[in-house]
């Protein structure tokens, strides 16, 4: 248990460090005055002032971090030269500072995907049925080994990852329309109603009754291709997940916070280093994606205000922007409390 907690803290710390390092490096390059580079939130555990005059600190709670810059919204320190306030830097520099954290998270993910594919091989899951389990929905419908799934609910499927994502969404009348291409080239459509399975903890899942076989590719070129396609798919999946949350096709209970991640890290660690690295990839993309959403308090929310400034030709009132970010932060904390509560309840049920 202690090892799992330490591994989780290390992973979170790495992702946050990489994210904040992006903001930090671009802010320094843009000659913005930086007060503090902090890893973690809450009370300070360790701190040291560097020769550059910046305070470097480690804080108690490993759930965030920040780079405190002068003038993030308006001029707020009379001791600092006007040109060193972030709000007084050229528009393009402010934009680069804001998106630098997300960019670093995405770059980390792509590099790790490349490393995984290069050293452990790239697993490719084509949507081709390897086995249809007898007396289960897909086999009963007449689907057999060798059949290729080319669409589900009229959404094109080019890999099994995307198929699983579509199948995780609620469907009308609990029926899923499969477009199947048989080995003879003939295409047919099937309405499949999955079986519902309930585990000991009361968690429900849908069973369709097919197996997909993974194929592994190796080599430098394959690793590059895998890194690009897998990164693009994870981004696409997150777009679909956000859409599913807003439309109700995906329940809020499917989300996990730091407590839920503890269980995931524990299970992943048993599967090997490559699985842990892939978890880091997923979480890094997740952190970057969430941060770039146009929501107040996120980097994406601040980018929105920059875009408004560009369109209207003048800055948004600093007080108005601060109110938006404060409200956004409060809503974010409420959501985190809700998700954490759900995570704790799952642990008790387990």
Place of tokens 């389990």: 133
Angstrom distances, CA of residue 59 to CA of 2, 79, 86, 199:
20, 26, 24, 39
The reply to whether 20 belongs to the active site is yes
* Active-site pick, 20, 72, 215, 309: 20
Q: In Å, how far from its chain's centre is CA 284? A: 6
Q: 106 is written with which tokens?
A: 């995405």
* Residue 29 to residue 160: CA distance in whole angstroms: 43
Residue 127 has phi, psi (to 5 degrees) of -75, 55
* Residue 208 to residue 251: CA distance in whole angstroms: 20
CB-count burial class (<10 Å; 0-12, 13-18, 19+) for 176: buried
Nearest one of 98, 17, 6 to 58, comparing CA atoms: 17
| Residues 6 or more apart whose Cβ sits within 8 Å of residue 343 | 256, 257, 258, 259, 260
* Residue 223 to residue 289: CA distance in whole angstroms: 23
Residues marked active site are found at: 20
């Amino acid at each position: 248990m202690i090892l799992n907690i330490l591994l989780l803290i290390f992973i979170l710390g790495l992702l946050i460090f990489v994210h904040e390092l992006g903001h930090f490096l671009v802010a320094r390059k843009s000659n913005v005055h930086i007060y503090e580079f902090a890893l973690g939130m809450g009370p300070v555990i360790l701190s040291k002032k560097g020769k550059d005059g910046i305070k470097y600190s480690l804080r108690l709670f490993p759930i965030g971090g920040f780079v405190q810059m002068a003038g993030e919204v308006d001029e707020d320190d009379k001791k600092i030269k006007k040109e060193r306030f972030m709000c007084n830097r050229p528009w393009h520099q402010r934009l680069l500072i804001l998106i630098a954290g997300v960019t670093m998270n995405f770059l980390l993910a792509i590099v790790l995907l490349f490393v995984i594919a290069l050293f452990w091989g790239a697993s490719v899951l084509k949507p081709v049925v390897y086995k249809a389990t007898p007396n289960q929905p897909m086999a009963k419908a007449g689907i057999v080994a060798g059949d290729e799934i080319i669409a589900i609910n009229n959404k094109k499927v080019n890999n099994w990852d995307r198929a699983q994502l579509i199948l995780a969404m609620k469907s009308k009348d609990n029926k899923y329309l499969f477009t199947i291409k048989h080995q003879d080239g003939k295409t047919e459509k099937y309405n499949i109603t999955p079986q519902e399975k309930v585990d000991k903890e009361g968690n429900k899942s849908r069973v369709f009754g097919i197996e997909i076989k993974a194929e592994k590719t190796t080599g430098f070129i394959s690793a590059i291709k895998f890194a690009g396609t897998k990164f693009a798919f994870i981004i696409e999946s997150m777009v679909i997940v956000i859409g599913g949350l807003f439309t109700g096709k995906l329940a809020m209970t499917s989300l996990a916070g730091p407590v839920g991640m503890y269980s995931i890290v524990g299970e992943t660690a048993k599967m090997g280093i490559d699985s842990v690295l892939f978890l880091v990839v997923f979480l890094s993309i997740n952190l970057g994606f969430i941060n770039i959403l146009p929501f107040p308090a996120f980097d994406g929310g601040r980018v929105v205000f920059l875009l408004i400034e560009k369109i209207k030709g003048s800055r948004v009132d600093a007080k108005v922007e601060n109110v938006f970010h404060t409200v956004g932060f409060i809503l974010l904390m409420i959501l985190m409390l809700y998700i954490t509560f759900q995570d704790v309840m799952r642990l008790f049920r387990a």
